[in-house]
Amino acid sequence: MKNSTLPDTSTITRPKMDFDRWWILVLGVITLIIILVITIPDPFRRILFFVSDGIGVTIYTTLVSFVLVMIFGLVAGLGRLSKNWLLHGAATIYVEVVRGIPLLVQLMFWYFAFPSVIISIGEWLNILSMKNYRAEPLVMAILGITFCYSAYMSEVYRAGIQSISKGQMEAARSLGMSYVQAMRHVILPQAVRVILPPVGNEFITLLKDSSLVSVVAVADMTRRGREFTATNFIPVQTWVMIALLYLVLTLVSARIVTWIERKTQLER
């Protein structure tokens, strides 16, 4: 009888499952919206058409704010890590103060109080353009979100940079790089990979918090939903549709963040 040898299953490579199964949930929510619009066109189709322009405003506000948050958050994070006591102190005060004030209060300040400050300064200096200053709702909303979220993002950057071994900086400096060059070419590329999960979480949180801009006259989805409810008196159907639309945006954002994490993760 011949000796039979079984194949070593430990060496068999199985194909990796690249498909993110959570996309099924995204498709499920989109399908639910389509079913509601087709089967119950009044009021769901009317609601969708009425708030459709608000979807674009919500996406635009979120994307522009997030890009600015990434830039100014990095500046504030580097300031927190700076050995210069003035930069470190200013960045620390900014982070601690801004994180202690709710975003809604900050948005109200930028839209209602800040223009009054500009006008008062214009009257004091007799500058006509400042005396006639009028706040643009969308600009003030983006400014308020950026100012608030940059404080949180600075801490994400700081934690990511501090997670990189100090030997990396020392090695870069020993090769003749300046501090800025070492930070740009060695430290930050590694830190970005580390902070991708919390950055993605911040983006999703910002997307949801963008609904607060509705209180400063920005016609986003939430404000358009309030307007529709005020004129049609059907709050249940209106807010169900608004909630489903926000859910689609957040789920798609989460899937995109997960895809980016997979593409940029370090091989272990």
Residue 148 belongs to a domain = yes
CATH for 216: 1.10.3720.10
In this structure, what are the phi and psi dihedrals at residue 240, rounded to the nearest 5 degrees? -65, -45
Residue 6 belongs to a domain = no
The set of residues, in sequence order, having a beta carbon less than 8 Å from that of 130 and lying 6+ positions away, is: 118, 119, 121, 122, 123
Residue 267 belongs to a domain = no
Torsion over CA: 266, 186, 154, 166 (sign): positive
Q: Which residues form the domain of 238?
A: 55-258
Instruction: Please state, in angstroms and rounded to a whole number, the distance separating the CA atoms of residues 248 and 34.
Output: 12
> pLDDT tens per residue, the chain (268 residues)?
445 454 454 444 444 556 778 889 999 999 999 999 999 988 999 999 999 999 999 999 999 999 999 999 999 999 998 888 999 999 999 999 999 999 999 999 999 999 999 999 988 888 888 888 888 999 999 999 999 999 999 999 999 988 888 888 888 888 888 878 888 888 888 888 888 888 989 999 999 999 999 999 899 999 999 999 999 999 999 999 999 999 999 999 999 988 888 877 654 3
Residue 21 belongs to a domain = no
- Helices in the chain by DSSP H: which ranges? 23-39, 41-81, 85-99, 103-108, 114-125, 128-131, 137-162, 166-174, 179-182, 188-209, 221-232, 235-264
Instruction: Please state, in angstroms and rounded to a whole number, the distance separating the CA atoms of residues 268 and 253.
Output: 26
Residue 40 belongs to a domain = no
Residue 33 belongs to a domain = no
Residue 139 belongs to a domain = yes
3-state secondary structure at position 187: helix
* Number of domains into which the chain is organized: 1
Residue 132 has which token pair?
A: 């006639």
Residue 175 belongs to a domain = yes
How far, CA to CA in Å, does 152 sit from each of 48, 88, 194, 220, 225? 34, 16, 16, 24, 29
